[in-house]
Amino acid sequence: MIKRTLQQIQNMIKTENVQDDYQEIMIDGVSIDSRKIQPGNLFIPFKGEHSDGHRFVEDALQKGAAAALWQKDVPNPPLHLPVLIVEDTLTALQELARSYRNELDVKVVGITGSNGKTTVKDMTANLLALQYKVKKTEGNFNNHIGMPLTILSLDEDTEIAVLEMGMSGKGEIEFLTRLARPNVTVITNIGEAHLQDLGSRDGIADAKLEIIQGLQEHGLIVYMGDEVLLKERLANYDGNAQVKTFGRSRQNDLYPVEISGSQSGSRFKVNDNDVEFDLPVLGAHNVLNALSAMLVAQYFNIPFEKMNDGFSHLKLTNMRMELVEGANGERVINDAYNASPTSMRAAIDLISNLPDFNQKIVVLGDMLELGEQENNFHYEIGKGLDPEKVNYVFTYGPLATHIAEGAKTNFPNERVLSFSDKTALIEELKKLTDKETLILVKASRGMKLEEVVIALEK
């Protein structure tokens, strides 16, 4: 993590004051939460609408912080302490990360996409760790605050940083990529998430493609070649980066020639190679995610023959196709971190085709931020469910009632249950579960459907 004296920090960001007595103080990492201060941290408070971190500056210093920033429009800075006054503390955090990244001899992989970017991040980091010292974005630290914090957490000898880049609107990916200056960019796919803000899938594609604006000279662009919106936009790319595609189609640079699934993962082969890969993650869509990670690893000179070693130690970030066992022996796929129509269909396809279960149940909640067509998106998910492959449909939330309506076009009414009360849903679900049952739990993060998974484990 960043280790610099206050004098060096003042050379990296613009400050409004100079404290000669504290110039040689060494900061060791940064923190924006006074409750999580580690000895030597630089504490960076934010001024919000409902709370102000400046109230905790002195407390953070008492807990062991070496110094703190202070936003100049906040009155009464404690100048008897090692405090640097800046125009804006968020901007200072971002500029400090930009400066630190530029000082490091590190390669950066930037990953974005509507679905799968966290999974691809985890897979890519595992493969690259076979040969390099790697640091990746932790959790969902993928925005204008989280990514600077990730950069500032890099050790000086980190060889490759794998950075996830999220967004909610136009221009956000451009900001992140220009800060990170990636050597490799990956676009996993274009889905429907953020339609509410960006208006169309074309708008989403344009926003995701902002990631290449920060790409360094002679880098690599990896994207889902089956996605027409990306293919059209990159057809006339005239930069000096390599461009590689992955997907199901044989027109891609990397595609699967065989895929077989089981209760514990997937096995697959790719074109132009005889290696059989074992992926301990469920779903054919995750095989495609793996292909993008493999292209990145290949760019960094890791041969296909070594990649199974990276896949064998793979553990995805929580609540992403996480397989757990319930109290009655039922198997539960916890995919409750996020949802869009694309990812919902992929998860349903997975559970529909997994063998060796006598009963399959889907527990589906609201998909958020889908814009004006949100009701129809939910209805079509329900209508697409196959009563020959799914035994019961449980829905939770006001939008998910439209999933239930769509499902009732094919299912008997008694096999479709819609709830606005999570406790009632859990009680009914438990009546149906046994060791021969497989359950999919999926919704947008705001629905907190992981509470259903936790209840089933008790």
CA–CA distance from 32 to each of 58, 139, 428, 450 (Å)?
Answer: 13, 16, 43, 27
Q: Which strands sit side by side in the sheet containing 359-365, from one edge to the other?
A: 322-325, 331-335, 437-442, 359-365, 392-396, 416-419
- pLDDT of res. 261: 78
Q: How confident is the model at residue 196 (pLDDT cuts 50, 70, 90)?
A: low
Mind listing the pLDDT tens digit for each residue in 16-73? Answer: 887 888 999 999 999 999 999 999 999 999 988 788 999 999 999 999 999 999 999 9
Residue 370, pLDDT above cutoff 90: no
Q: Looking at the domain covering 104-312, what would its CATH class be?
A: alpha beta
User: What pLDDT, on the 0 to 100 scale, is given for residue 323?
Assistant: 81
Query: Tens digit of pLDDT for each residue in 247-288?
Result: 999 999 999 999 987 777 889 999 978 899 999 888 888 999
Q: Is pLDDT of 421 > 80?
A: yes
d(Cα 188, Cα 225) in Å, to the nearest integer?
Answer: 10
- pTM of the full structure: 0.81
**Lowest mean per-residue pLDDT among 104-113, 190-199, 306-315:** 190-199
Mean pLDDT of 370-397: 94
Mean pLDDT of 448-458: 91
Give domain 322-457's CATH architecture.
Alpha-Beta Complex (3.90)
- Separation of alpha carbons 132 and 123, rounded Å: 14
Q: How much is the mean pLDDT over the chain? A: 91
Counting residues of the chain whose pLDDT is more than 90, the rounded percentage is: 70
Whether the predicted pLDDT of 445 surpasses 90? no
Chain-centre distance for alpha carbon 208: 14
Which residue in this structure is represented by tokens 């947008």? Answer: 444
Mean predicted confidence (pLDDT) in 372-382: 93
**Sequence ranges of the domains in the chain:** 3-88, 104-312, 322-457
pLDDT above 70 covers a percentage of the chain that reads: 97
Q: Do domains 104-312 and 322-457 have the same CATH topology?
A: no
Q: What is the mean pLDDT of residues 149-176?
A: 93
The CATH number of 3-88, from 3.40.640.10, 3.40.1190.20, 3.40.190.10, 3.40.1390.10, is: 3.40.1390.10
Residue 197 has pLDDT above 80, yes or no: no
